[in-house]
Amino acid sequence: MPTPPASRKTTKPYRKRRTRRNPWLLGLDRLMALAALANLSLVLFNITYIPFRDIYLSRLPQITQLYDPIKGIEPNRDTQEYLETVDLIEQQLAESGPEGADIEPLLTQIKDQSEAMVNENPFELAKKTGTLEKIKNRMREHMENESAKGSFREFWSVEHLEKNLWTREIAFFNEEIRPLIASNYYRPYGESGDFVDFFVIIDFPFVLLFGFDYLVRTFYLSRRRQGTSWRDTLLWRWYDLFFFLPIWRILRILPVTLRLHQVRWINLSRMQTQVNRFLAESLAGDMTEIVLVQSVGIAQDAIEQGVIEEWLLNPESDAVEINEVNELQELILQAVKITIYKVLPQLTPDLENVIRHAIVEALNDLPFYQQVQQLPGMMALPNGVAQQVTKQLTQTTQSTLTKVLKDTKGRDIFDQLGEHFTDALRGELQDQETLDEIQSLLTDFLEETKLTILQRLEAKSGEGAAAEVEHLRQVSRTPTVKVMPGLPGSK
Instruction: Please give the biggest Cα pair distance in the chain.
Output: 154
**DSSP labels for 38-59?**
HHHHHHHHHHHHHHHHHHHHHH
pLDDT above 60: residue 46: yes
What band does 151 get if pLDDT is binned at 50, 70 and 90? very high
Q: Any bridge partners for residue 75, and if so which?
A: 185
pLDDT above 80: residue 74: yes
The whole model's pTM is what? 0.57
Strands (E), 183-247: 185-186
Which range is least confidently modeled, 143-147, 158-162, 414-418? Answer: 414-418
Percentage above 90 pLDDT, the chain: 32
Instruction: Look at strands 8-10 and 481-483 and give their pairing.
Output: antiparallel
Q: Which of 392, 393, 18, 36 is nearest to 207 (CA)?
A: 36
The stretch 374-395 carries a mean pLDDT of: 60
Give pLDDT tens digits for 303-354. 666 666 565 556 555 555 555 666 555 666 677 667 666 666 776 677 667 6
| H or E element in which residue 14 lies | none
